[in-house]
Amino acid sequence: MATSCQIWRPDRGRCFKTYGIIIVLFMDLALQCVDGYLSSPHVGQEPPYSRDAQHGPVITSPVVPAAASVTPADEESYTAKCPSGGLCSRLPADCIQCNYQHNCTYRKPATFTCKPKKGVHCIGESGHPQTNFSLSISCQFCWQLDPSEYRCSNSTNCMTVSCPRKRYNATCDVLDHVHCLGKRRFQKRLFCNWTGGYKWSTALALSITLGGFGADRFYLGQWREGLGKLFSFGGLGIWTLIDVLLIGVGYVGPADGSLYI
């Protein structure tokens, strides 16, 4: 390419223009990666407890939560979802009070003494009403549960397509039928994972067929890049080819930071 540029002087400007477009595009990719890394100082780091608490006993000191006074409004809120006359061991966690001792071994079966809350009635295995019963659960805190056993809030204000991937602080609540130690509502740092309804197949098809006119970028909400491709005829075809590759591997995504569907 360099030799041909020296022989045909009229084409020398075209060679420089082609090289310039390629350099600018790669510099843009590098800057996006650096910006994503600097804006995500905690990416790749789990909270200290998630690394250390996976082995051995959870807590060796017995801690019993103090019984809180129940107001009539609170009693009405939990009794509405508590079945009456069912097995005590099948009651949701919000319907019982347990004397949790935290001196058990992580993920080992542990038995605790529980009783139904005020206004909740249940029976034992024998069919007789019970005021106290034993509950066997796995010894682990609520934030140590499997992700399928709790539900977390989903943020739509973070970028899911970034280099590296970004995280957000989510508020998680344990499902009613799952029993665990500690607070049933906790904070967890999760990867951004939401969608705005953009289809990857549509974006790729537009990039292949009408990418020279910026249709793929316009579809993804990136109108500045779309105008750039439109007035430069897809960067003389080079920008179009690069976008086909970037959209194909999922690096270029919607402008709102959501995932493809």
Q: Flag the least confident range among 27-41, 195-209, 229-243.
A: 27-41
SS3 43: coil
Which of 163, 161, 158, 160 shows the shortest CA–CA distance to 30? 163
What residues contact 176, with CB distance under 8 A and at least 6 apart?
81, 92, 93, 94
CA dihedral over 73, 79, 81, 145, signed as positive or negative: positive
**In this predicted structure, what is the pLDDT of residue 184?**
93
Checking if the pLDDT of 11 tops 70, the result is no
Higher pLDDT, 196 or 99: 99
Bridge partners, residue 190, by sequence: 168
Residue 259 forms part of a structural domain = no
Residue 255 forms part of a structural domain = no
Q: How many domains does the chain have?
A: 3
Higher pLDDT, 3 or 237: 237
Checking if the pLDDT of 64 tops 90, the result is no
To the nearest whole number, what is the mean pLDDT of the chain?
76
Task: Report residue 32's pLDDT band, with 50, 70 and 90 as the boundaries.
Answer: low
Residue 69 forms part of a structural domain = no
Same domain, 132 and 156: no
- Among candidate residues 139, 166, 183, the one where a domain is terminated: 139
Same domain, 163 and 182: yes
Per residue in 212-224, pLDDT (tens digit) is: 898 998 988 888 8
Query: How far apart, in whole angstroms, are the C-alpha atoms of residue 110 and residue 197?
Result: 45
Higher pLDDT, 30 or 256: 256
Per residue in 173-197, pLDDT (tens digit) is: 999 889 999 999 999 988 877 677 7
Q: Cβ of 172: how many Cβ atoms within 10 Å?
A: 19
Same domain, 112 and 95: yes
**In this predicted structure, what is the pLDDT of residue 63?**
44
What residues contact 255, with CB distance under 8 A and at least 6 apart?
220, 221, 222
Residue 235 forms part of a structural domain = yes
**In this predicted structure, what is the pLDDT of residue 80?**
72
Checking if the pLDDT of 52 tops 50, the result is no
**In this predicted structure, what is the pLDDT of residue 110?**
92
Same domain, 210 and 187: no
Looking at mean pLDDT, say which of 42-56, 57-71, 75-89, 98-112 comes out highest: 98-112
Same domain, 204 and 245: yes
Query: Residue 151, Cα to own-chain centre: how many angstroms?
Result: 11
- Percent of the chain with pLDDT strictly greater than 70: 68
**In this predicted structure, what is the pLDDT of residue 5?**
45
Residue 47 forms part of a structural domain = no
Residue 237 forms part of a structural domain = yes
Task: Report residue 126's pLDDT band, with 50, 70 and 90 as the boundaries.
Answer: confident
**In this predicted structure, what is the pLDDT of residue 17?**
61
* 91 phi/psi in degrees, rounded to 5: -70, 145
Residue 42 forms part of a structural domain = no
Task: Report residue 66's pLDDT band, with 50, 70 and 90 as the boundaries.
Answer: very low
Q: Are 81 and 92 in contact (CB under 8 A)?
A: yes
State which residues form the domain around 217: 200-249
Residue 37 forms part of a structural domain = no
Same domain, 209 and 171: no
Per residue in 137-152, pLDDT (tens digit) is: 999 999 999 999 999 9
